[in-house]
Structure 1
Amino acid sequence: MAVSQVTLPRARISRKSGHLLPIISGLAVAACAVALVAYLLWPTWRTQNPGGPLRLPVSIGGTLFNVPTAAVRMKIQRQSGPQERVDLDFAYPSLAPPAPKHITAEMVENAMPPIDRIFLSIAAHHDALSPEERVRTIYPRYLADTATTVENGLTMRAFRQGTPYSGEDLFSTHDAGFDARCTRDASTPGMCLSERRIGGADLTFRFPRGWLVQWRAVAAAMERLVVQLHGAS
């Protein structure tokens, strides 16, 4: 009798824990989604010394970029010279450094603010596989067989379930050299990632999936940013 009195409460606790696990997992996923949008839209460092330079010459992977000071998202990256990585954002479609937004956690939770900017990370690649090679040799291993035409000259192929890119889609076009890997719209808007390599650095552009309806304008905006930061490539 003494043994049964001890093991019965433990069994009940185990069953309750089993019911709570899916709820806890769901809350964790939702929190991560909100955190992602909050990170993208949160007003990071924007102050600038009135006497400071408007642009910073930055060397990333041995490649020189002329970066607008006001577009740098993190204060620690506001310096000229060699750097491993720089994170920037630009208002779309003007491509000017965006004005700071005063966004609170309550605003993000109650009404998701629209994303009105292109995010750009420039990082040294250290001879890793290039974005072009990844699109040509890695992604096809995980893509579904069928492709769908979604916009003028733009096709979509879904990544298969159970692959490293499950839940994402690959958008591409043959005539303009545009490729974007995008998450799907859910509790937060889907985001797209488009990459290119310049010298010793990889440029990673991020923008809302909803902008694909005007993908040619987005592709042209990314090209203008490349010219502004590095010159014609």
Structure 2
Amino acid sequence: MLGGALGLLGVLALTGLAATWLARPPKPAGPVVVGTLAPRPVVLPAAWFVRPAAGTDGGRIDLAIPWSELTGSALPGLMRVTATRAPETEAPLSPARRYARFLTAEAQPLPEGLMRRRFRAGTPFEGEDLYLAEGEGGRFAARCTTGPSPEPEAACLSEVRIGALSLRLRFSPERLPAWSAGLAGLERLFGSEP
């Protein structure tokens, strides 16, 4: 009797798994054209889309782009990108000014053209460091957790604007030395020139 009940549970579990697998939306095989997010259509590989690409003509897309595709090098891992239309407002404060009241006075230059700034204890950003490029971080800035992270591949957060798009980036702190090549790759993909 117990063996029959366990067998029935096993069959039901396998049926549920099969139904879930069959009900998932199919991934497109070729490139996906995103038509309304940017001034010009953007063509991206279907494999990069985190969610099904059927809703690509909405106001947001979520991507997982291999670093090797962005930089043309053999870097492992993915950059998670959320692209939305940039708000039509005046330019925001530079990251250095936006976070100034939370930062310590210490500034450490790094070989890859970044400046590391630490957040003070007791601030909302305690346990993170701020990395700035070119002085105040107008071109690139990233906040990265300093301790163990539940998602090490997404422990850094950066927000950049490319043309009419606002991009929210998540990546591993190990990829900070490749920030310039990664940003150049995003500019090639999403820039206003075809």
Same fold (TM over 0.5): yes
Give ranges in structure 1 of 5+ residues lacking alignment: 1-44, 97-114
Tell me, yes or no, if structure 1 residue 89 matches structure 2 residue 64. yes
Rate the CA distance shift 1:49–1:118 in 2: closer, same or farther, 3 A.
Answer: closer
Query: In structure 1, what is the equivalent of residue 125 of structure 2?
Result: 165
SS at match of 1:78: helix
Tell me, yes or no, if structure 1 residue 66 matches structure 2 residue 27. no
Q: Which has the higher helix share?
A: 1
Across the two proteins, how many residue pairs are aligned to each other? 162
Q: Is the Cα–Cα contact under 8 Å of residues 167 and 183 in structure 1 kept in the other structure?
A: yes
TM-score, length-normalised on structure 2?
Answer: 0.68
CA RMSD of aligned residues (A): 3.1
CA distance in 1, matches of 2:112, 2:28: 45
Listed one character per residue, the Cα deviations across residues 98-123 of structure 1 (whole Å, up to 9, x for unaligned) are xxxxxxxxxxxxxxxxx711111112
Instruction: State the 1:129 CA deviation.
Output: 7.3
Query: In structure 2, what is the equivalent of residue 26 of structure 1?
Result: none
Give ranges in structure 2 of 5+ residues lacking alignment: 1-23
Rate the CA distance shift 1:153–1:95 in 2: closer, same or farther, 3 A.
Answer: closer
Listed one character per residue, the Cα deviations across residues 174-231 of structure 1 (whole Å, up to 9, x for unaligned) are 279332111123154371122212344311121101222xx2x332122212212334
Instruction: State the 1:79 CA deviation.
Output: 3.6
Tell me, yes or no, if structure 1 residue 211 matches structure 2 residue 188. no
Rate the CA distance shift 1:119–1:138 in 2: closer, same or farther, 3 A.
Answer: same
Instruction: State the 1:171 CA deviation.
Output: 0.8
Q: Is the Cα–Cα contact under 8 Å of residues 142 and 163 in structure 1 kept in the other structure?
A: yes
Kindly provide the amino acid, as one letter, of the partner of residue 192 in structure 1.
C
Q: Is the Cα–Cα contact under 8 Å of residues 63 and 201 in structure 1 kept in the other structure?
A: no
Q: Is the Cα–Cα contact under 8 Å of residues 162 and 190 in structure 2 kept in the other structure?
A: no
CA distance in 2, matches of 1:129, 1:168: 28
Query: In structure 2, what is the equivalent of residue 185 of structure 1?
Result: 147
Q: Is the Cα–Cα contact under 8 Å of residues 63 and 198 in structure 1 kept in the other structure?
A: no
Instruction: State the 1:160 CA deviation.
Output: 1.2
Q: Is the Cα–Cα contact under 8 Å of residues 117 and 131 in structure 2 kept in the other structure?
A: yes
Q: Which structure is larger by alpha-carbon Rg, 1 or 2? A: 1
Which residue of 54, 59, 65 corresponds with 1:78? 54
Among the aligned pairs, what percent are the same residue? Answer: 27
Q: Is the Cα–Cα contact under 8 Å of residues 196 and 204 in structure 1 kept in the other structure?
A: yes
SS at match of 1:87: strand
